[in-house]
Amino acid sequence: MALSHHDALVFSGSFKLKTAAEDFSVFPPFEIRSGVEQRVPFLFNSPHSGRYYPERFLAMAR
């Protein structure tokens, strides 16, 4: 299995694998909210919304 520098973090000389799933496991990927009664069919999808960006993710985006 080949690893890249994106697959690992180095802390004080130790080697720790960290995956994107671990980065983003802090918050659920989506949330379902519903009212007391649904009167019309409605689906709202906002795939690019978000507020949580782990430091490792930001470093890879630069």
Q: What is the pLDDT of residues 18-33, one digit of tens each?
A: 787 788 787 777 788 8
What pLDDT shows up at residue 10? 44
**Burial grade of 9 (CB within 10 A; 0-12, 13-18, 19 or more):** middle
Range of the domain at 18: 1-27+53-62
3: three-class secondary structure by DSSP:
coil
Q: Is residue 43 part of a domain?
A: no
What pLDDT shows up at residue 2? 52
The amino acid occupying position 61 is A
Domain count, the chain: 1
Q: Is residue 12 part of a domain?
A: yes
Q: Which one has a higher pLDDT value, 28 or 15?
A: 28
Q: Is residue 47 part of a domain?
A: no
Q: Is residue 42 part of a domain?
A: no
For residue 44, the cross-strand partners are none
Q: Is residue 8 part of a domain?
A: yes
Q: Is residue 14 part of a domain?
A: yes
Q: What is the mean pLDDT of the chain?
A: 73
Q: Is residue 37 part of a domain?
A: no
